[in-house]
Chain A
Amino acid sequence: MGEYLLEVQGLKTYFKTKAGYVRSVDGVSFGVRPGEKVAIVGESGCGKSVTALSIMRLIEQPPGEYIDGSILFDGQNILDLPERAMRKIRGGKIGMIFQDPMTCLNPTMTVAQQIAEGLQIHLKLSRGEAHRRAISLLEQVGIPDAAKRANSYPHQFSGGMRQRVMIAISLACNPKLLIADEPTTALDVTVQAQILELISGVCHDFGTAVILITHDLGVVAGMTDRVVVMYAGKVVETAPTDELFANPRHPYTLGLMASIPRLDEARTSDLKTIEGAPPNLIQPPTGCPFMPRCVFARNICRTMPPLEAVAGQSTHVKACWVDVTDPQTREQAERRRLARMELKQGIIKEAALQTAEEK
C-alpha cells in the first residue's frame, strides 16, 4: 500500500480543567492514504471529534493543549506549522463537514457567498468567478435550480439541503482530505443515505480522501475502506472494513456490533448494550481503559495492551491481550455477560421492591 497522505502519530490532545487534564485524545495513531475512506468509530466522548479538530488545528488553546505526537500531512507536521500556513491548509487542502448543518452555516450570508469565500481565499478567484464556481458546485451536490437557489439564505433550506451546501463549501477548493464529523447525525433517516452517497460519490470523483467520524456502524459498512475504533481517547482496533465486520477482535468492537438492533430479533428480547460508562478521562485507569466494562477482562488487563497486528493479518491491528476468537473464552464471556445482566436486574428488582415497601 502506498504512502500516507495523513499520518497521525501518538497524538495527545488534553484539555486543562480545574480538576486536572482531561485526556480526550491519548496517544492516537492512524494513517489515511490518498483517496482512501477511513471511518473513526466510537461512542460519545471517546475523542473522535477532538481528533478531527486537532487535525484541523482548531482546538481552542487554552484550554486545549497538544501535549505530544505529530500529525503529518503531505510530509509536514501540522502541529509545528505557523498559523498562516495552517490557514492555507484549512479549506484549501483539508475540508471539514460538521455535524449540525442547522448551526454551522452563517445565517447572514447567502449560500453562494459562503461557498465562494473559500474559493476567494485559496484560489484567489474574483468575486464573479467564485460565484459562478459556487453555482456549479451547488449543481454537483444536487441542489435543483442552483443558479436561483445560490442567492438564498441558509434558513430557506431544509436540513438535508444545508448539509449539501456544507459539502459544497468543504469541497470547493478540491481538498486532498475531507473530514466529515458525524455528517448525518442531525439529519432525517430518509436523507442520511442520500448525503452519505453524495459524499462518497463526490469524493470519488474528486479523488478526495475521507475521514468519516461516526458512531453508526451501519454508516461505516456502506462507504469506508478502513475503520479505526476508538475508546477513551485511544485507538483499540484498526482493520479494513470488511475484515472488521467479519472478524472483530477487540471486545469493544464486539460490543458495538452486538448493540446494533436487529429486525429479526424477538420483540420482547432486550436490546443489547455495553454495560457501564466510559472511564473518567481525567484519571483514566492505568491498564486497558475498557477493562471495567469488558466481559473478557482478566488480570493481565491491568497493564495496557500494545496495539499489535492480529496474527496472520498485517492490516488488522488491535489493543487487547485476549484472543476473543477462542471458543472457550467466548463461552466464558457470554456466561459473564448473562451473570452481569442478572445481577443488574436483581438490583433493579430489589430497588423496586424497596420503594414499594416504603410506600
Chain B
Amino acid sequence: MDISRQINLTHPELEDLEPFLDETPELVQERRSQGRIIFDRFIRHRIAIIGAIFLIAMLLFCFFGPLFWKYNPDIIPDNVVTARFNAPDLAHPFGTDEVARDELARALAGGRVSLLVALASMLGAIVLGVGIGSFAGFYGGIIDNLLMRFTDVFLAVPLYLLLFVLSATFTDGSPLSVVILIAIFGWTYAARLVRGEFLAHRDREYVLAARAIGAKNLSLMFRHILPNAAGPIIVNSTILIGANIILESVLSYFGFGIKAPNPSWGNMIADGQTYFDQAPWLVFVPALLIFLTVLSFNVVGDGLRDALDPHMTER
C-alpha cells in the first residue's frame, strides 16, 4: 500500500503528453467499431467480394432492370411465328422463347420471383429458427427438450416428398404459398444452430453481469446474447438463401412451386426443356443464373464466416 502512495500517479508532465498520444495512428485505428472490423476483413476475401458484387448486380438487374428493358416478359408479340426461338443476338441477348417473348425479360422477371421467394422464405425460416432455438438454448431443461424433439420430428420428415404432397394439395402456385412452404421446412437447422449458440453464451460472464444489473430474460436473450450469436446466424442465412433458390427451382420444375403465368427460374427450365433441341438457351440461361447465384451466396457466406470468426486474427 505504501509503495503505491509514493509513486505519484498523476504526474503533471504525463498529462501534457496525453494529447499527443491521442494523435498516434495506432490509436486512431484502434477505434474502429466491431462492424467496421468485420467489413474490413470481409473485403479482403477476394472470391467473396466477387460473389457479393455479382449478387448486388443481380438484385439490381432483377428489380430495376425491367424498368429499362424494352421488352415485356408476359406479352406475346404479334410476329410470333417469325420471332420465336430467336437465337441470342443483339436485339435479344438471351434469345426468345417458344412464343417469341424476350428471354432476358423473362429471366429478370423469373429472377425477381426466385430471389424474392428465397429471401422471404429465408427470413421466415430464420425468424422461426431463432425464436425456437433461442428459447430452447436459453431456458434449457424441459423447454429445450420439448422444442428440440419437435425440431427432430421436422428433420426426420422426408423433405422433398412432403413438400411435393403439401404443395400439390395446399398451395395455389402463388409465390407467397411457396414462401410459407419453404420456410416451414427450412427453420430446423437454424433452430439447432441458434440453440447451440445460446447454450454456449448463456453461461458466459457478460450474461451474468447483465443479470446482475437487473436485465430481464427477454433482454438477456435478444439484446445481449443474440448479437453475439449473430455471426453464425448470418452465415447460415446466406447459405440458406442458396438452398432455398434450389428448393424453389426444384418445386417449380416439377410443377409444384411457382406456376404460370408467374415466371421463375425453376419453371423456366421446365418450360424450356421441351424445346431443348431447337433452343438450348431456354434451359441454359435460367440454369446458369441459378448456378451462379447459389454459388455467389455460398462464397459470400464463406467470406462472412471468416470475417465474423472471432478467432481470426488481424493480418
- Say whether B23 faces chain A, with CB atoms less than 8 Å apart: no
* Complex contact B4–A106 (CB within 8 A): no
- Say whether A137 faces chain B, with CB atoms less than 8 Å apart: no
Question: How far is B215's CA from A354's CA once the two chains are assembled, in angstroms?
Answer: 60
Question: How far is B147's CA from A301's CA once the two chains are assembled, in angstroms?
Answer: 54
Interface string of A148-160 (1 = CB under 8 A from B): 0000110110000
Interface footprint category on A: 35 or more
Interface string of A95-117 (1 = CB under 8 A from B): 11010100111111100000001
- Say whether B228 faces chain A, with CB atoms less than 8 Å apart: yes
* Complex contact B205–A121 (CB within 8 A): no
- Say whether B227 faces chain A, with CB atoms less than 8 Å apart: yes
* Complex contact A218–B33 (CB within 8 A): no
Task: Give A351 Cβ to nearest chain B Cβ, in Å.
Answer: 40
- Say whether B212 faces chain A, with CB atoms less than 8 Å apart: yes
Residues of the A chain whose Cβ atoms lie less than 8 Å from the Cβ of B224:
106, 109
Task: Give A147 Cβ to nearest chain B Cβ, in Å.
Answer: 13
Task: Give A43 Cβ to nearest chain B Cβ, in Å.
Answer: 21
Please tell me which one of the listed residues A108, A122, A193 contacts residue B227 in the complex, with CB atoms under 8 A apart: A108
Question: How far is B223's CA from A105's CA once the two chains are assembled, in angstroms?
Answer: 13
- Say whether A319 faces chain B, with CB atoms less than 8 Å apart: no
- Say whether A33 faces chain B, with CB atoms less than 8 Å apart: no
* Complex contact A103–B213 (CB within 8 A): no
Question: How far is B204's CA from A252's CA once the two chains are assembled, in angstroms?
Answer: 33
Residues of the A chain whose Cβ atoms lie less than 8 Å from the Cβ of B208:
58, 98, 104
- Say whether B18 faces chain A, with CB atoms less than 8 Å apart: yes
- Say whether A72 faces chain B, with CB atoms less than 8 Å apart: no
- Say whether B211 faces chain A, with CB atoms less than 8 Å apart: yes
* Complex contact A103–B1 (CB within 8 A): no
- Say whether B156 faces chain A, with CB atoms less than 8 Å apart: no
Contact of A118 with B33 at beta-carbon distance under 8 Å, contacts A104-B205, A106-B224 already known: no
* Complex contact B214–A90 (CB within 8 A): yes
Interface string of B1-38 (1 = CB under 8 A from A): 10010000100000000100010000000110110000
- Say whether B216 faces chain A, with CB atoms less than 8 Å apart: yes
Contact of A106 with B206 at beta-carbon distance under 8 Å, contacts A193-B1, A194-B9, A221-B1 already known: yes
Please tell me which one of the listed residues A91, A95, A117, A153 contacts residue B33 in the complex, with CB atoms under 8 A apart: A153
- Say whether A337 faces chain B, with CB atoms less than 8 Å apart: no
* Complex contact B34–A103 (CB within 8 A): no
- B193-245 CB contacts (< 8 Å) to partner A: 204-206, 208-216, 223-224, 227-228, 230
* Complex contact A107–B205 (CB within 8 A): no
Question: How far is B22's CA from A170's CA once the two chains are assembled, in angstroms?
Answer: 28
Task: Give A271 Cβ to nearest chain B Cβ, in Å.
Answer: 20
- Say whether A88 faces chain B, with CB atoms less than 8 Å apart: yes
* Complex contact A103–B204 (CB within 8 A): yes
**CB-based nearest A residue for B19:** A145
